[in-house]
């Protein structure tokens, strides 16, 4: 029985996608997610010559999963979010790739009005993160007009450069005061976190494996989604 044209096309697409993902991983040094520490992250940033100021991590496991439960936060993973002076999320153009945003950030103005999106407030993030290294709490003095939150991960290797280049857009913007928060989303080594797992979380699995399995499965999917997005956003 001869294969149908649709079956042939599907097989070709699967082969091409698998090949593209492999090439992307090799070219950019994308690896399997693994636990990090503030010291390892700062070393990674220095190695790749990425900005090492205004770097933040989550306070603990509970804070980590509280943010990840928010659908808007998940939608903007390995990307950026812009919040106005009141902490409201600025609506972004969903027709654009998640890495785009350079021109918008460069042209942000305190005199302009922007559409807001409900469901995620800046305060929900700020209360669950803290700075590392020589990072000060705010990257500018006084109340900012906008806050730029960019999520990145060490397992993406040098591909993070597409995120950190947004720093240039902030520097070139002369019309608004923009606070920058580089938020790392790698899971932290247990020794660097204050574990406060609630009874509700533990009730999912008596053996305590729920949290570990959930975080690694999620990050594994995130890694592959990043590779997939790269193919269509190049």
Provide the pLDDT confidence category of residue 29 given band limits of 50, 70 and 90. low
Short-list 57, 26, 62, 61, CA closest to 44: 57
SS3 205: coil
Tokens at 141, concatenated:
């003095």
Q: What is the pLDDT of residue 228?
A: 40
CB 121 within 8 A of CB 84: no
- Which residues lie below 8 Å from residue 10, measured CB to CB, with a gap of 6+? none
* Mean predicted confidence (pLDDT) in 158-182: 94
Q: What is the pLDDT of residue 94?
A: 65
The pLDDT tens digits of the residues spanning 33-89 come to 889 999 999 999 999 999 988 999 999 999 999 999 999 999 999 999 999 999 999
Q: What is the pLDDT of residue 34?
A: 85
Phi first, then psi, for residue 183 (nearest 5°) are -105, 115
Q: Count Cβ atoms below 10 Å from residue 16 Cβ, excluding itself.
A: 11
Q: What is the pLDDT of residue 212?
A: 40
* Sequence-ordered strand ranges (E) for the chain: 55-58, 80-84, 88-90, 116-121, 129-131, 146-152, 178-184
The pLDDT tens digits of the residues spanning 91-127 come to 987 666 655 789 999 999 999 999 999 999 999 999 9
d(CA 90, CA 84): 7
* Mean predicted confidence (pLDDT) in 189-196: 55
User: What is the value of pTM for the model shown?
Assistant: 0.71
Q: What is the pLDDT of residue 143?
A: 85
Q: What is the pLDDT of residue 159?
A: 85
Containing 171, the helix (H) or strand (E) segment is helix 166-172
């Amino acid at each position: 029985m001869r294969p149908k044209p649709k079956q042939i096309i599907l097989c070709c697409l699967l082969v091409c996608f698998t090949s593209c993902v492999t090439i992307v991983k090799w070219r950019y040094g994308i690896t399997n997610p693994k636990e990090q520490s503030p010291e390892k992250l700062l070393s990674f940033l220095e190695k790749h010559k990425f900005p090492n100021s205004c770097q933040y991590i989550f306070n603990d496991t509970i804070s980590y999963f509280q943010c990840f439960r928010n659908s808007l936060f998940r939608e903007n993973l390995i990307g950026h979010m812009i919040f106005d002076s009141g902490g409201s999320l600025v609506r972004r153009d969903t027709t654009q790739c998640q890495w785009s945003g350079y021109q918008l950030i460069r042209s942000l103005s305190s005199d302009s009005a922007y559409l807001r999106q409900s469901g995620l407030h800046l305060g929900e993030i700020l209360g669950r993160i803290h700075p590392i290294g020589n990072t000060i709490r705010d990257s500018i003095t006084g109340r900012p007009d906008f806050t730029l939150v960019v999520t990145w991960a060490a397992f993406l290797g040098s591909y993070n450069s597409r995120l950190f280049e947004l720093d240039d857009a902030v520097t070139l913007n002369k019309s608004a005061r923009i606070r920058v928060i580089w938020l790392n989303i790698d899971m932290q080594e247990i020794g660097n976190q204050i574990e406060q797992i609630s009874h509700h979380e533990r009730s999912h699995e008596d053996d305590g494996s729920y949290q570990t399995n959930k975080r690694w499965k999620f990050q594994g999917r995130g890694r592959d989604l990043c590779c997939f997005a790269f193919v269509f956003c190049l």
